[in-house]
Structure 1
């Protein structure tokens, strides 16, 4: 049986015509179950979002400041940055765990570590104990956050893969919302439980994952890479085709996965850390991935994410209740925009969303800078209110690309053999950028106040130019088709799937009988 190339030149993936139009996420019990498992993985991002918003809230609580002797400057930077230092310590091990023991067990290990760490954080008796717990949270988060989005993208039903994977990073704000409103609800408690309760709630997503994630499906791509083809195709069939191993979509997915992995191993020798920069296609990937990692944290958002109280101080909003209310409302605003963009990634496209986001961020951050300058010079209430308004508009622009797309775009442009290592490089770059932000931002804000915003205005302009020249459109393609965009014709010719002219017919199985025999032999 002749095979059709897996990579199409147009925007529609070769699998699209094989999808049963009657099989939807809301009317198929196995897709509902699959998406339930995916939600369990998506909440990994909530833990990360909870941490950033919680630290924002704790800095506004006098009970927390008094207990830890009002940390400022370098100590305050360390309290925020130590989680990312913990992440850095775990990066050397993360890809080997994901590729070695599997995606889901790596998530479970990371969640277990975070459960232990949040107990220590909640019981902290000194600033050193608090810092040590946050280091351990970062260490565990690296394992869970490194494996979870890869498992989401590798197990999702094809037509829902991009929105679901984009939802992963968008749910950062769900954790941020819970943390923001928790600190708002506990600030009236006149003892240390005002900050210990938010610290304890940080463990909730991890506890749920430890209890349930062991029963989730494993990545079919990981199973194929370990020679467990029978389990891989059974997983694809169970969740993507109601158990029908002969379904044309299942056969297409299986053969495309297997041929892509074989190509990486034998034809391209696309394995190991050195392979990340060994070919023009991989160098192009790494240039984009590292840039997106730094852009996601160096676009001015770090000022509000970790030092919103300093921004409030600069426009003389010193009262605690308005600070906490604005923080809570901002997180809800962010989640709404990020989720909206997540569901539009395959309709509008990645490139359009990235460019629109950069243009909006540049415009609104410039206006925020101007209004901050006006308040510093003239002290008018109107300028202060305008700063708050432009923070919200800036984040709406940020959220339409840099919340949903940085993770999903990274994992989809990487071939399977390099996905864990490439995603680790991405997370490592984010941690480096965050550590810089968390140390430099408070010092710079203290030293030059609103003038520091001008640096970010220039940087966002650079981001816009970079995105225009280097972002490649990937909408409506499978993972293997997307990866082949970077590797040229050789990859496209080797990644073969079931014939492109097979149409879905639940009564027609003869066309795939020979393929089924090949699977059993494999």
Structure 2
């Protein structure tokens, strides 16, 4: 007897796509929440006394903050190795469960050692999440809205920073250990929400087809298109994905060696390098110094503790508002133009900020604060989301989980570099550290111009054609046929079924 169960909570079409984005956003919210959390609690007396450190101990504080990033790096590598077997959704489920354990250990800490263990464990989980979530969302999204969907989850992550800062500001007026223990424990609630809904959402159809789970893939593709399984468009989508997988197989079996040295003609090593480098370009301008250490930075400039927390909260809101703008721009004006606009605006902000803090004075400090808001807003609409989008777009199906994982690994690697060396650099060379950030902000412009393709509006299969010459003409021909057959000038290459299925 056929089952009357409606898959995916009965959601179909855009409703299902947005459900995936929101649940993945809840998982990614943990990413932003930790940045805002540590940026605001590391200066509170109750936290410092509980683990017996001083605010002036830059070495220990930077270790506590940055050790999380090492855990994230390891989690990303685990995702790269296991993702091909377990799939996107199962890896995210494991990652969220590990994060809950890490949150409990951190919230119950009475020593630097226990806190560091908790942060490493939480990092394992978050590394798995960040290595899989953008790929999962991208593979479940339409070409014309894929950037918007990934940008939305990054916007939710940015809102996590806002929640953390303002929650900590509210707890600042209380007394006792609850001031920092509750905000640390609260992060588990986001993971639990995502865990509750994940079982009801679909796995990536591209992963399912790569694993020859055809019936499940049919069900997912039909639900995403809000059409019957036997619909011509659904079957064309399926056939084109299968054709792309067949092309990959024809180039040779999957091999981890291709990450370093690729002889298949798919340029796997070059595409991996691009996916990793874009995250380095995101991090080296030092934006995470603001989020992890904002209250410490403002206090160091002579601003009172409570005011510093407020300013940190305002900075987080500026970042989030910038990320909201990015949702509407990323597919409309394209990835590259968005990055150009962000880098140029960040350059202007940094060039104002550095001389202001070098001279001191009340007026200069407020100008510096305004420049900080400009820098983070510009990063929010551009560099926050686009590197993650590229990480999920640039690799073919069988290597996409590795591309996403190594993209996230690079993010956490250079986040570690920034949050570990930043406080030490400020202590030794002061405002001159920002000259380094200005240089890296500038270098991002020619790097994006010369090395990165524009992928806005292209299907994942079309993006594959950008790197493989013998596929490029095929992609164009299939697009023209699909447009003629379905009247959809921006349709995907899925009509290849009629030729090559």
The verdict on a shared fold, with TM-score over 0.5 as the criterion, is yes
How many Å apart are 1:461 and its aligned residue? Answer: 1.8
Most deviating of 238-247 and 259-268: 238-247
Give the whole-Å Cα distance in 1 for the aligned partners of 2:77 and 2:201: 26
Give the whole-Å Cα distance in 2 for the aligned partners of 1:39 and 1:493: 35
- The residue number in structure 1 matching 2:247 is 263
Compute the TM-score of the two structures, normalised by the length of structure 2. Answer: 0.90
- The residue number in structure 1 matching 2:6 is none
- The residue number in structure 1 matching 2:394 is 413
- The residue number in structure 2 matching 1:292 is 278
| 1:65 paired to 2:51 | no
Confirm or deny: 8 A CA contact 2:12 2:225 kept in the other structure.
Answer: no
How many Å apart are 1:270 and its aligned residue? Answer: 5.7
- The residue number in structure 1 matching 2:144 is 159
Give the whole-Å Cα distance in 1 for the aligned partners of 2:261 and 2:307: 49
Give the whole-Å Cα distance in 2 for the aligned partners of 1:197 and 1:419: 37
Q: Evaluate the alpha carbon distance shift between residue 287 and residue 267 of structure 1 in structure 2; reply closer, same or farther with a 3 A threshold.
A: closer
1:359-407 deviation line (CA, Å, top 9, x unaligned): 11112111111111221xxxx2111110000001111221221112110
Give the whole-Å Cα distance in 1 for the aligned partners of 2:84 and 2:473: 24
Q: Evaluate the alpha carbon distance shift between residue 217 and residue 492 of structure 1 in structure 2; reply closer, same or farther with a 3 A threshold.
A: farther
- The residue number in structure 1 matching 2:7 is none
Compute the TM-score of the two structures, normalised by the length of structure 1. Answer: 0.86
* Alignment RMSD: 2.3
Give the whole-Å Cα distance in 2 for the aligned partners of 1:366 and 1:94: 39
How many Å apart are 1:30 and its aligned residue? Answer: 4.2
Give the whole-Å Cα distance in 2 for the aligned partners of 1:283 and 1:122: 41
Q: Evaluate the alpha carbon distance shift between residue 124 and residue 454 of structure 1 in structure 2; reply closer, same or farther with a 3 A threshold.
A: same
2:468 to 469, 481, 487: 487
1:197-222 deviation line (CA, Å, top 9, x unaligned): 10111111111122221221011000
Q: Evaluate the alpha carbon distance shift between residue 37 and residue 91 of structure 1 in structure 2; reply closer, same or farther with a 3 A threshold.
A: closer
Q: Evaluate the alpha carbon distance shift between residue 397 and residue 30 of structure 1 in structure 2; reply closer, same or farther with a 3 A threshold.
A: closer
How many Å apart are 1:234 and its aligned residue? Answer: 2.1
How many Å apart are 1:313 and its aligned residue? Answer: 3.2
Give the whole-Å Cα distance in 2 for the aligned partners of 1:262 and 1:124: 52
| Helix, strand or coil at the partner of 1:316 | coil
- The residue number in structure 1 matching 2:308 is 323
Confirm or deny: 8 A CA contact 2:275 2:391 kept in the other structure.
Answer: yes
Q: Which runs of 5+ in 1 are unaligned?
A: 1-27, 506-511
Q: Evaluate the alpha carbon distance shift between residue 236 and residue 420 of structure 1 in structure 2; reply closer, same or farther with a 3 A threshold.
A: same
Confirm or deny: 8 A CA contact 2:46 2:180 kept in the other structure.
Answer: yes
1:34-90 deviation line (CA, Å, top 9, x unaligned): 421331012222101100110011112111112222342221111011111112333
- The residue number in structure 2 matching 1:429 is 410
Most deviating of 61-70 and 46-55: 61-70
How many Å apart are 1:442 and its aligned residue? Answer: 0.8
Q: How many residues align structurally?
A: 478
- The residue number in structure 2 matching 1:15 is none
| Helix, strand or coil at the partner of 1:328 | helix
- The residue number in structure 2 matching 1:253 is 237
Give the whole-Å Cα distance in 2 for the aligned partners of 1:55 and 1:391: 18
2:35 to 40, 43, 52: 52
1:401-454 deviation line (CA, Å, top 9, x unaligned): 111211012211211111111222212222221221122111110111111111
1:161-180 equivalences under 5 Å are 161-180=146-165
How many Å apart are 1:504 and its aligned residue? Answer: 5.8
Higher relative contact order (CA 8 A, sep 6+): 1
| Helix, strand or coil at the partner of 1:458 | helix
Confirm or deny: 8 A CA contact 2:40 2:293 kept in the other structure.
Answer: no
1:272-287 equivalences under 5 Å are 272-275=256-259, 277-278=261-262, 279=265, 281-287=267-273
How many Å apart are 1:29 and its aligned residue? Answer: 5.3
1:333-412 equivalences under 5 Å are 333-375=318-360, 380-412=361-393
Give the whole-Å Cα distance in 1 for the aligned partners of 2:215 and 2:433: 57
- The residue number in structure 2 matching 1:33 is 16
Q: Evaluate the alpha carbon distance shift between residue 203 and residue 273 of structure 1 in structure 2; reply closer, same or farther with a 3 A threshold.
A: farther
Confirm or deny: 8 A CA contact 1:277 1:286 kept in the other structure.
Answer: no
Q: Evaluate the alpha carbon distance shift between residue 443 and residue 236 of structure 1 in structure 2; reply closer, same or farther with a 3 A threshold.
A: same
How many Å apart are 1:491 and its aligned residue? Answer: 5.6
Confirm or deny: 8 A CA contact 1:115 1:206 kept in the other structure.
Answer: yes
How many Å apart are 1:290 and its aligned residue? Answer: 2.4
Confirm or deny: 8 A CA contact 2:21 2:153 kept in the other structure.
Answer: no
Most deviating of 394-403 and 191-200: 394-403
Q: Which runs of 5+ in 2 are unaligned?
A: 1-10, 489-494
Q: Evaluate the alpha carbon distance shift between residue 497 and residue 204 of structure 1 in structure 2; reply closer, same or farther with a 3 A threshold.
A: farther
Give the whole-Å Cα distance in 2 for the aligned partners of 1:348 and 1:85: 35
Confirm or deny: 8 A CA contact 2:35 2:291 kept in the other structure.
Answer: yes
1:87-102 equivalences under 5 Å are 87-102=72-87
| 1:303 paired to 2:259 | no
